[in-house]
Amino acid sequence: MKLNKPRFWDKEKIGFFPILLFPLTLIFLIIIFFKKNFSRSKKFDIPVICVGNIYLGGTGKTPSSIFLAVELKNLGYKPAIIRKYYEDHKDEHNMIKHNFSDLILTNNRAHGIREAKKRGHDIVILDDGLQDYKIKKNLSIACFNQKQLIGNGLVLPSGPLRESLSALKSTDIILINGEKVPGFEEKLLEINKKLKIYYSYYEPINIDQFKNYKLLALAGIANPENFFMLLEENNLNIEEKLIFPDHYRFAKSQIQNIINEAKNKKLKIIMTEKDFFKTNEFKLNKIDYLKVALKVTHKEDLINKIRNIYD
């Protein structure tokens, strides 16, 4: 059963539950220490860009991976996106394929990199993998979301971090989805003064399709509040919200019930693109999703940083 993330993960004040769980966090940190320090890092003869995160989920790493792959392809490179296969992540697999065809799903990222080279690709983008210490990356990008940043700052399960912020010492680029937060850049640069920090945002493409409607908004993603806030920022009228856990697997009957409920209440359904690819297989044709384009400020500078790894 999938569960929504604990609310205390994103509270600045550390309360009872994080303290209660801290012994488990210590065990988790010890495991990370041994993995990081005793894994043999393999170098490949094809450039490897890793787009990952430290905050668990909802940081925009998959849209960022797609963005970089498309930009590089437009410049004449032959990129491939490599993603570790998980049965319950088919929504993201389908979303990537819809936006970029050269996706390699694998149970082993090293095997995926070699397969990409065999297929004639000249650069690979790991969608996730900052915590895979067996692969030497030519460039590491850590994604954050302005609305969550690092939550309570603690590592799993006391907090939402997959590893401590000290991991940014081996990171090259920070990509923050949202606006600048006072003090956050300085905090990151204290850890690694060589970090280059960029910002991204989602630009709605089909927003007019939902104006003048009362909406039932559905989100089964890591941080559903981010989706709802995007709708509200664009002056859409949300009458009802439905929240499901990230990677939630819907049943056809469940979606049909939601469609019937919306019809009875005279509401139009809107969902995320990721959720759409969980439900599209049912062919119900009664659901629309908000199409967005990821935009990166100072895009040219970011792309040049990537191109420099060929020099």
Contacts with 53 (C-beta within 8 Å, 6 or more apart), sequence order: 59, 61, 128, 130, 142, 143, 144, 162
Pick 206-290's CATH classification: 3.90.930, 1.10.1060, 3.30.390, 3.40.50: 3.40.50
Per-residue model confidence as pLDDT tens digits over 160-169:
999 999 999 9
DSSP 149: T
From the list 255, 242, 249, 243, the residue with the least C-alpha distance to 282 is 255
Residue ranges per structural domain of the chain: 40-202+295-310, 206-290
pLDDT at 11: 87
Residue for token pair 């049943």: 251
pTM for the model: 0.95
Q: In this structure, which amino acid lies at residue 199?
A: Y
Task: Note whether 40-202+295-310 and 206-290 share their fold.
Answer: yes
**Which residues on adjacent β-strands are paired with residue 237?**
214
Per-residue model confidence as pLDDT tens digits over 38-61:
999 999 999 999 999 999 999 999
pLDDT at 104: 98
From first to last of its 311 residues, what are the pLDDT tens digits of the chain? 455 789 999 988 888 999 999 999 999 999 999 999 999 999 999 999 999 999 999 999 999 999 999 999 999 999 999 999 998 899 999 999 999 999 999 999 999 999 999 999 999 999 999 999 999 999 999 999 999 999 999 999 999 999 999 999 999 999 999 999 999 999 999 999 999 999 999 999 999 999 999 999 999 999 999 999 999 999 999 999 999 999 999 999 999 999 999 999 999 999 999 999 999 888 887 789 999 999 999 999 999 999 998 76
Contacts with 289 (C-beta within 8 Å, 6 or more apart), sequence order: 270, 271, 272, 273, 275, 276
40-202+295-310 is classed in which CATH architecture? 3-Layer(aba) Sandwich (3.40)
CA pair distance 54, 212, nearest whole angstrom: 39
> For residue 105, what is the enclosing H or E element?
strand 103-106
